[in-house]
Structure 1
Amino acid sequence: MHFPALGSRRAIIDRRAISDNIVALAQAHNGDPMKLRLAIVGELRTALEQGRKEVARRLEAKPTRGRETVSAFAFLIDQILRLLYDATTHHLYPASNRSTGERIVLIAVGGYGRGEMAPYSDIDIGFITPWKPTGWTEQVIESMLYSLWDLGLKVGHSSRSIDETMRMANADLTVRTALLEARYIWGDRPLYEETAARFGAEVVQGTARAFIADKLAEREERHKRMGDSRYVVEPNVKEGKGGLRDLHTLFWIGKYVHRVQSVAELVDSGLLTQAELRQFQKAEDFLWAVRCHLHTITGRAEDRLTFDLQLEIATRMRFTARQGQSGVERFMRYYFLNAKTVGDLTAVFLAHLDDQFAAKGRRYIPAFFRRPKKLDGFILDRGRLALPDDNFFRDDPVRLLEIFALADRHGLSIHPSAMRAASRDAPHITAKVRRDPRANAAFLDVLTSPRDPETVLRWMNESSVFGRFIPDFRRVVAQMQFDMYHHYTVDEHTIRAIGLLSRIEKGELASEHPLSSEIMAKLISRRALYVAVLLHDIAKGRGGDHSILGAEVAEHLCPRLGLSDAETETVAWLVRYHLLMSATAFKRDLADYKTILDFADVVQSAERLKLLLCLTIVDIRAVGPGVWNSWKRQLLGDLYESAEEVLRLGHKLRGREERVAAKQAALQQALGLSDDDFRQFAKRLPESYWIAEPDDILVHNARHILASDGSPLSIAAEYYPQRGATLVTVYATDHPGLFYRIAGAIHLAGGNIIDARIHTTRDGVAVDNFLVQDPLGGAFHSPEQLQRIKVAIEDALANRHRLITKLEARPLPRTRAEAFRIAPNVLIDNKASNRFTVVEVNARDRPALLFALANALFQSKVTVHSAHVATYGERAVDTFYITDLLGGKIEAKGRLQTLERRLLEAAGGDVDIALQMA
């Protein structure tokens, strides 16, 4: 029997009882095959539903036992198919004396053939006949398929003769893989035996090497498609790196090479050890459990572990909050540790395989590499660093660090058997080894390597040596951050950031990061920067401010690594303030000189400023694809230049005046205006405008203003490629409520505001620049879309309809951010600016949030002078520089409390659009 471990089978489905019922139905409907088929389907549907409920109940009772669940589902489907086969061949299409051609066998292929079936997976089956199908076999196959579809099952099926099967298997890797796991279900047993024997002799024999190469290439392609990291925060349990498909690939290869029938037999063939088999089975059990929960919750074949499903599965699998980590973060950490196990097993398995083929003289590497050569006690085995004996690491655990430093220095890879020994012996890295100057020097050599630190650090992490040597790092291995902003686990994010820093230093990203590429070449504290990148997130998940806690880690760890007191102080400062530059650039008004002074006051030195810029850039870029863009580069560059000026000039304002003059000169040249005409134009615009806007927007705005020719309202909308967004400029007479009306109109037109810069000329005209994207993060391109935005703004400013009513009637699209609970928070700061009250609102991002906040500010009778919109995944941070209607700061306590309450209500969404217009 194929499911020996499955208990209480009759509770899932009682085949004998149902078979008796079908016989009774056949007698009752004698002579009416149509009615009989429907009655049989009805009987099987009831059995299928009851069986599904029983399996779901078992999963609920034992939520981590995935193998049991998938075996139970496969068993249930087996019995349904057998009953249907018997009913079809005995009652619907009986054939009294069949010819030798009227034979048929039903087989399970693919994962179902392996005896594993997730609740809503496709049922992959094959009908095999000796030769071309006869009239009778065609009737049987067609009837069975209709019955299966009537049962609501998704069926992947094929119907072939034995010859056709062999031909297809030789021509198509997918067919060959599916047939590799073919299993007899019901029908003509000798026909199955003949098919299996011919498959082994005609397809598998002598093609193992080609199959391995094809399967590994297929795996690489799949990983690229899925994001090529096993640490993406919304992983695909089936197809992703470290997922079920990777485990199955190992089994397929083992089965193809050694003709094994079960994973356990891979031990006998030398491809896995007994301990590795246990790891394989444990990881597979967990991943299957997760996949079964995904299917059960969604009621479909869903394999992507999205944020909302992570929450529910963590609860079902009984993960609870502990030590500063929520239940869902603990669940996902366990998921990533299992994915890491799958990766480790893959490396070991392929090493065994390589050795087995190499033993037969089939080596991929030229002969001169095969002679082992000594290298600091290590040896070279076919060009890879290997160990002279099995106790080499245990005899001197410092070698666990030295092997990676050697690999980096000489550009060598490490033999998988040495990696395996490193994983096994990593626990020998004790406090004594951590204090050893040789070990620390080797680690620092890898971290600050001018070659490829990312690759070698990743090897070090895979073997657990990294976490053993830096215990604080071990705490963040496989630790996810439950948000939509971070795409990777903390350890993966950190290693990627170090890789990016190395690439910037080597000049590989000069076109994307010209400023930091130039700076890296002149740094005095290069070593401190690499250590700071390593430590910037090291204290995440400890329940406090990770910047402050991380600085404390740095103070203890840096001296151990061999850094001087001055370097230690620099690293601790960088870790403590690693979020300062991005927070200032993205949430504050860089045209407000006090912003620059406050920032420079914390930074204090030009060297620290350079280090902080480089750290900030790699931190943002390593968050995930699509997070970095030209707008962020420009804002960080502006802040860097302004702060450098202050630090260089000793707080003189001259540099600022020079920048404004340079921008004005460039604009006058671009416009071709005379000195008098340009002077007239320039004096209308405040200094803050010249500082805030980049040169290309200054040109765009100036042409717009000059073309408006004194009109009270002029609107421009065009694609702005530097940001991948649409630039909407409104030139209009300033009045209270202008900002919130424009925000509401843009949302009504289907736009999402990602940045807003609001300026007022000295003669009372507003020049407002909005960057707008569609809800999926794309720009509005077509003339119709741009026209729709312009008309919506015109209508709103002319008060042609009640904005509130129209917005209430517009359904808000559901967003992924709804999986997160974020308590809104309002911070009001009267010290951040000399002229303005600065209000920062943190809230869950959603459509029309900016409109709701702008409306609340309008209700509070304040003037918005600039708005800065930053989004971090599901979290929005909107900052407003405001004054009262007379231009003064808002300082009355009662007024501030009312303002805070209104903004909190708007941010929370309860009173989203319910506030009535004044």
Structure 2
Amino acid sequence: MTDSADDTGGYPAARLRLLQDGAATGPGRRAALARLTDDWLAALLDRAATEAGVTGVALVAVGGYGRGELSPRSDLDLLLLHDGRADTGAVAKLADHLWYPVWDLGLDLDHSVRTPAEARTAARDDLKVQLGLLDARHLAGDPELTASVRTAAYADWRESAPKRLPELHDLCQERAARQGELQFLLEPDLKEARGGLRDATALRAVAASWLADAPRGGLEAARTRLLDTRDALHLVTGRATDRLSLQDQPQVADALGAADADILLRETYEAARTISYAADVTWREVGRVLRSRSVRPTLRGLLPGRAANRVERSPLAEGVVELDGEAVLARAARPERDPVLVLRAAAAAAQAGLPLATHAIRRCAAAADVRPLPEPWPAEARDELVTLLGAGAPTVPVWESLEAEGALPRLLPEWERVRCHPQHNPVHTWTVDRHLVETAVRAAALTRRVHRPDLLLIAALLHDIGKGLPGDHSVAGADLARTIAARLGFEARDTEVIAALVRHHLLLIETATRRDLDDPATVGAVADAVGDTGTLELLHALTEADALATGPAAWSTWRAGLVADLVGRVAARLAGEAEPDTGGADEPTAEQERLAVEAGRIRGPVLALHTRAEAPAEDGAAPPVGVELLIAVPDQPGVLPAAAGVLALHRLTVRAADLRTLDPIGDGRVLLLSWRVAAEYGSLPDADRLRADLVRALDGSLDIPARLAERERAYARRTRPALAPPPSVTVAPGTSRTATVIEVRAQDAHGLLHRIGRALEGAGVCVRSAHISTLGANAVDAFYVTGTDGRPLSEEAARQLAEAVQGALL
């Protein structure tokens, strides 16, 4: 060992001056500190090698130091290479001359002494060693030794990548489980948390394997931001720490020139989100490549022509297909002529539990600059947004992809205000924007409890949209929600309901936990604010979804009980007003009467198919269309399931429907069915074919249940089942004085209405009218039924009927 006091030279003073220089910051200061340290260590090696009489050595920087990224308190990762010809004792003495001066300055040191062969063996045995060598940088000594190790490290890494990359992915996953997601933590670890510096380093290693590469947009800027924040943290605390604690955030923000700690956290979260998204996309691509390589080479090329490389493309929606585990655009898709495509693709991906391909989002986003969605949105766009929000947990990664690729601000400009907005209340698990999406996810599981799932899901997405604005965020948010809902194309009444839900989203939980529920004034105030039982029902579900999405401390059995008690009292107060009977129908139009007369004359079904533009066409492109299908059929058993089954066989989705019975025409009554339908994908079927199949279905020559079962089996083989709550079938009390109302709330699916119709027919009840609504992915249907005597069902008969219908849907 040598006298290390003579080995520091002017390094400590020069280092201190550099760190105190306010003009030197960011990447420039890290590079300057690395160069300063390089020069000092190179001088140490030259002198130590001379004193120890050793040749054939090289000093190599690895890890972060190898990348030239020295933060003020970073440790030094050093590898002393030797060619193996020198005496072991001499090499050890040389190492002491290098390491002790570093320790004497109080710097952390991670060191090793190896021959090139030993370094290569260590890398093969230890993934972390192998990753460090990928950043090896020559400092001093024999450059050939360093070059040989670097060359071998990269060759070994690329050769072993199919085995080592899954191991690296597992390490990243384990670390994320321990440390959490940086973008949501109030006191994040800038290095270890998911989306931190270690993940950025892992992406560099993936790129070095040549198997996949990370999305480059913003990635380097995000990594630089985290490094700058760590530099400021080291200088503020005087410690080698990576945890950005609450007490240090104001000083770190000041050091970085941020106005306050909230802005610091928001910029940190944005950087972490960029890295996390890049990691998701990159690891997905790695999985795809490795799956493709798992096919044995001997199996390739057995099929002639292009069939040998054919990959199945399964349709998901119009213009959207599943390909190799992702939702992608179909070959014929034209986003520049179809502004709804981005929402349709996102909804289809979420419903299928698939990631939405990056290139698909980018194509749609670029097209939106040329042809944005019209305002107000067409009904299809609104339905697709509701479908996306109603998909449950798969909504989150699809939503994050839209945001990361810049598509979301084009759809919802107000989102930028809450994006990455921190919440300092420790009860909150998420940032404001993610909390809104999580609330929609929770609300999706509650859609069977409400009469308007679409209003619930939109209100869930917007309930905190006013955060970050001056004043009460509920008041500010209600104004924003009103503007947004109108832009989305909701009718004026629905827009006011959404605004009311946002305005009062804290009313139930705050009243239930802070007021005396036995005081009539308490219940009266809530009833006055809510206004009607429909809004109360939605507000109850939104309250629960909001609390569940906040964090485990925000909802409990006790709180749920208090809120339910309050809701029950308010509902009783509101029920004092007479409810209108909605079981009737408006007078038929002239065309409906004409169809009914014709159906009575020919004693068979008559169809009329109409299309209408929902928005004016631009640039010669075809506008979105709504399709109305009118069917008149002489009253007979099985009309509803037969008609619904035929539509399902022809891949027509029912968006809304109405069934009514017209007065006797000719020899008997006529049933009139009015449908609003859309093709799942492809073109609309021919009206004559629809009528021919309906005739066969009614006379029994077309076995619809068998055909639908066959279709469902084929569909299940190529798609993933949607994650949806079970169906709910209930008897709506007091809704009608002349009929029993059966309400069905379920996930929209192939043949759903057909199964409901068969169950009602099998129960022997008369369907006086039916009102069908498909809201996003949710079907909300009401059937007004009577017994054969024309009277409402008894309480027991109604309960049995509801159970029978529910049994048919499970």
Could you report, residue by residue, the CA deviation over 1:544-599 in whole angstroms, capped at 9, with x for unpaired residues?
Answer: 32211211222233244343444333221111111222322344455766545544
Question: Which residue matches 1:84?
Answer: 44
Counterpart residue identity of residue 250, structure 2: L
Q: 2:234 aligns with which of 295, 320, 325?
A: 295
- Aligned equivalents of 1:297, 1:237: Cα separation in 2: 15
Could you report, residue by residue, the CA deviation over 1:720-755 in whole angstroms, capped at 9, with x for unpaired residues?
Answer: xxxxxxxxxxxxxxxxxxxxxxxxxxxxxxxxxxxx
- Post-superposition shift, 1:145? 1.9
- Aligned equivalents of 2:177, 2:65: Cα separation in 1: 26
Could you report, residue by residue, the CA deviation over 1:387-425 in whole angstroms, capped at 9, with x for unpaired residues?
Answer: 356993234332122211222344443233223434555
Contact 1:529 1:615 survives alignment (8 Å): yes
Secondary structure in structure 1 of the residue aligned to 2:232: helix
Secondary structure in structure 2 of the residue aligned to 1:128: strand
Q: 2:261 aligns with which of 324, 328, 351?
A: 328
- Aligned equivalents of 2:338, 2:66: Cα separation in 1: 49
- Aligned equivalents of 1:279, 1:650: Cα separation in 2: 53
Matches within 5 A, 1:483-562: 483-503=425-445, 505=446, 521-562=448-489
Question: Which residue matches 2:69?
Answer: 116
Does residue 72 of the first structure (1) align with residue 13 of the second (2)? no
Does residue 54 of the first structure (1) align with residue 8 of the second (2)? no
- Aligned equivalents of 1:400, 1:133: Cα separation in 2: 68
Secondary structure in structure 1 of the residue aligned to 2:140: strand
Secondary structure in structure 2 of the residue aligned to 1:385: strand
Q: 2:202 aligns with which of 249, 255, 264?
A: 249
Could you report, residue by residue, the CA deviation over 1:289-316 in whole angstroms, capped at 9, with x for unpaired residues?
Answer: 1111111111112222333333223322
- Post-superposition shift, 1:485? 4.4
- Aligned equivalents of 1:452, 1:351: Cα separation in 2: 15
- Post-superposition shift, 1:334? 3.0
Range with greater deviation from structure 2 (606-615 or 114-123): 606-615
- Post-superposition shift, 1:175? 1.2
Matches within 5 A, 1:54-203: 54-57=18-21, 60-61=22-23, 63=25, 66-90=26-50, 93-95=51-53, 98=54, 103-131=56-84, 134-201=88-155, 203=156
Contact 2:356 2:398 survives alignment (8 Å): no
- Aligned equivalents of 2:279, 2:394: Cα separation in 1: 23
Secondary structure in structure 2 of the residue aligned to 1:307: coil
Structure 1 residues 242 and 163, CA, compared in 2 at 3 Å: closer, same or farther?
same
Secondary structure in structure 2 of the residue aligned to 1:340: helix
Q: CA RMSD in A?
A: 3.5
- Post-superposition shift, 1:39? 3.1
Secondary structure in structure 1 of the residue aligned to 2:80: strand
Counterpart residue identity of residue 505, structure 2: H
- Post-superposition shift, 1:107? 1.4
Counterpart residue identity of residue 371, structure 1: E
Structure 1 residues 47 and 586, CA, compared in 2 at 3 Å: closer, same or farther?
farther
Structure 1 residues 576 and 439, CA, compared in 2 at 3 Å: closer, same or farther?
same
Could you report, residue by residue, the CA deviation over 1:763-806 in whole angstroms, capped at 9, with x for unpaired residues?
Answer: xxxxxxxxxxxxxxxxxxxxxxxxxxxxxxxxxxxxxxxxxxxx
Matches within 5 A, 1:308-457: 308-320=247-259, 327-347=260-280, 349=282, 370-372=311-313, 376-388=318-330, 392-425=334-367, 427-428=369-370, 430=372, 432=374, 435-449=377-391, 452-457=394-399
- Post-superposition shift, 1:38? 4.0
Q: 1:645 aligns with which of 558, 569, 575?
A: 569
- Post-superposition shift, 1:82? 1.6
- Aligned equivalents of 2:144, 2:332: Cα separation in 1: 50
Could you report, residue by residue, the CA deviation over 1:305-345 in whole angstroms, capped at 9, with x for unpaired residues?
Answer: 3333332233222234xxxxxx4333433333333333444
Alignment TM-score, normalising by the size of structure 1: 0.56
- Aligned equivalents of 1:432, 1:47: Cα separation in 2: 64
Question: Which residue matches 1:465?
Answer: 407
- Post-superposition shift, 1:173? 0.8
Counterpart residue identity of residue 189, structure 1: P
Counterpart residue identity of residue 408, structure 1: A
Question: Which residue matches 1:627?
Answer: 553
Does residue 219 of the first structure (1) align with residue 172 of the second (2)? yes
The gaps in structure 1 that reach 5 residues or longer are 1-32, 259-269, 321-326, 506-519, 653-918
- Post-superposition shift, 1:643? 4.8
Question: Which residue matches 1:206?
Answer: 159
- Aligned equivalents of 2:16, 2:282: Cα separation in 1: 36
- Aligned equivalents of 1:528, 1:207: Cα separation in 2: 52
* Percentage of pairs with the same residue: 28
Alignment TM-score, normalising by the size of structure 2: 0.63
- Post-superposition shift, 1:534? 0.9
Secondary structure in structure 2 of the residue aligned to 1:207: helix
Could you report, residue by residue, the CA deviation over 1:346-402 in whole angstroms, capped at 9, with x for unpaired residues?
Answer: 455557767777887869999998134565234443243323569932343321222
Counterpart residue identity of residue 70, structure 1: R
Secondary structure in structure 1 of the residue aligned to 2:497: helix
Contact 1:370 1:383 survives alignment (8 Å): no
Q: Using CA pairs under 8 Å that are at least 6 residues apart, name the structure with larger relative contact order, 1 or 2.
A: 2
Matches within 5 A, 1:765-914: none
- Post-superposition shift, 1:284? 2.5
Structure 1 residues 229 and 525, CA, compared in 2 at 3 Å: closer, same or farther?
farther
- Aligned equivalents of 1:640, 1:257: Cα separation in 2: 57
Secondary structure in structure 1 of the residue aligned to 2:564: helix
- Aligned equivalents of 2:339, 2:507: Cα separation in 1: 40
Structure 1 residues 502 and 438, CA, compared in 2 at 3 Å: closer, same or farther?
closer
- Aligned equivalents of 1:283, 1:153: Cα separation in 2: 27
- Aligned equivalents of 1:647, 1:377: Cα separation in 2: 45
Counterpart residue identity of residue 447, structure 1: L
Q: 1:576 aligns with which of 487, 500, 503?
A: 503
Does residue 478 of the first structure (1) align with residue 420 of the second (2)? yes
Contact 2:195 2:275 survives alignment (8 Å): yes
Question: Which residue matches 2:632?
Answer: none
Counterpart residue identity of residue 86, structure 1: D
Structure 1 residues 594 and 432, CA, compared in 2 at 3 Å: closer, same or farther?
closer
Question: Which residue matches 2:735?
Answer: none
Range with greater deviation from structure 2 (170-179 or 214-223): 214-223
Counterpart residue identity of residue 40, structure 1: D
- Post-superposition shift, 1:450? 6.8
Does residue 40 of the first structure (1) align with residue 2 of the second (2)? no
- Aligned equivalents of 2:73, 2:393: Cα separation in 1: 48
- Post-superposition shift, 1:539? 1.6
Does residue 616 of the first structure (1) align with residue 551 of the second (2)? no
Contact 1:458 1:495 survives alignment (8 Å): no
Task: Provide the aligned length of Structure 1 versus Structure 2.
Answer: 566
Contact 1:107 1:126 survives alignment (8 Å): yes
Counterpart residue identity of residue 559, structure 2: L
Secondary structure in structure 1 of the residue aligned to 2:414: helix
- Aligned equivalents of 2:309, 2:355: Cα separation in 1: 17
Secondary structure in structure 2 of the residue aligned to 1:81: helix
- Aligned equivalents of 1:393, 1:651: Cα separation in 2: 49
- Post-superposition shift, 1:237? 2.1
